[in-house]
Amino acid sequence: MERLQKLILLLFSLSLFNCQGQKSVLEKRPVFKVHKIENDMVIDGKMEEADWKKSEARTLDYFYQAATKNEHQKTVYRMLWDDENLYLFFECEDTHIVARETQRDGAPYFDDCAELFLIPAPKPLNVHIALEVSVTKIKNDVLFINNFDGDKNLAAKWYNPNYTVGVQIDGTVNDNTDTDTGWTMEFKIPFNVLWGLDRAYPIERGTKYMFLALRQDRNTLEGDKRSTTTIFPVENIELYDVHQPDMFGLLELVE
Structural domains in the chain, sorted by start: 2-254 (2.60.40.1190)
Q: What is the pLDDT of residues 149-161, one digit of tens each?
A: 888 898 988 889 9
Q: How far apart are CA 150 and CA 197, in angstroms?
A: 23
Residue 12, pLDDT score: 54
b/e per residue 193-221 (b: at least 16 CB within 10 A)? bbbebbeebebeeebbbbbbbbbbbbbee
Q: Is the pLDDT of residue 18 over 70?
A: no
Q: What is the pLDDT of residues 186-230, one digit of tens each?
A: 999 999 998 787 888 999 999 999 999 999 999 999 988 999 999
Residue 15, pLDDT score: 57
pTM metric for this prediction: 0.91
Q: How far apart are CA 191 and CA 180, in angstroms?
A: 34
Residue 24, pLDDT score: 46
Q: What is the pLDDT of residues 114-145, one digit of tens each?
A: 999 999 999 999 999 999 999 999 999 999 99
Three-class SS of the chain: CHHHHHHHHHHHHHHHHHCCCCHHHHCCCCEEEEEECCCCCCCCCCCCCHHHHHCCEEECCEEECCCCCCCCCCEEEEEEECCCEEEEEEEEECCCECCCCCCCCCCHHHCCEEEEEEECCCCCCCEEEEEEEECCCCEEEEEEEEEEECCEEEEECCCCCCCEEEEEEECCECCCCCCCCEEEEEEEEEHHHHCCHHHCCCCCCCCEEEEEEEEEECCCCCCCCCEEEECCCCCCHHHHCCCCHHHCEEEEEEC
